[in-house]
Amino acid sequence: MKDSHQPLNPKAFPVSWDQFHRDARALAWRLSGQGKWTAIVCITRGGLVPAAIVARELGIRVIETVGVASYHEYKDQGQLQVLKGVDPKLIEMDGGQGAGILIIDDLVDTGATARIVREMIPKAHFATVYAKPKGRPLVDTFVTEVSQDTWIYFPWDMDFAYAPPISGRGDG
């Protein structure tokens, strides 16, 4: 288990709330005019914040979640586990297979989570705020690419130093 007082990884990319908000709005700008979006499916938990920002900016009122856990102890990518699927009625709207749906996440890393969600909603438009090279081919739209060995520290993970979740559980 990682010591919560350890310094940041040398290839760290800490993101402030202000920067994340600007980047999520930039994602909304890129998505505007690309389609008629009827709903957002956000990948929890990382996709919740950008999904709220994108939904506000694009006037989307229907937001669904899909829960896939892959990070454990905020350190290693473990075996993927689907915790919550997407409502089949939503996927069948607009001609089926998720046409008209935006999938939103904070980051595509290796693409493992993206592959699972794409299988669930094959015609959806997949958008992330950040992308790493291994996962980048699986998303349609993103804002910033970082190297594969960079660890992004999101604002909800940060205090003045890494802050473990209140529940004590660090599983993603």
Write out the catalytic residue numbers: 105-106, 109
Distance, in Å, from the CA atom of 30 to the CA atom of 40, rounded to the nearest integer, reads 15
Q: Are residues 142 and 136 in contact, defined by beta-carbon separation less than 8 angstroms? A: yes
Three-state DSSP class for 91? helix
- Strand-pair partners of 102: 40, 125
Distance of CA 65 to the CA centre of its chain: 11
Q: Give the length of the chain.
A: 172
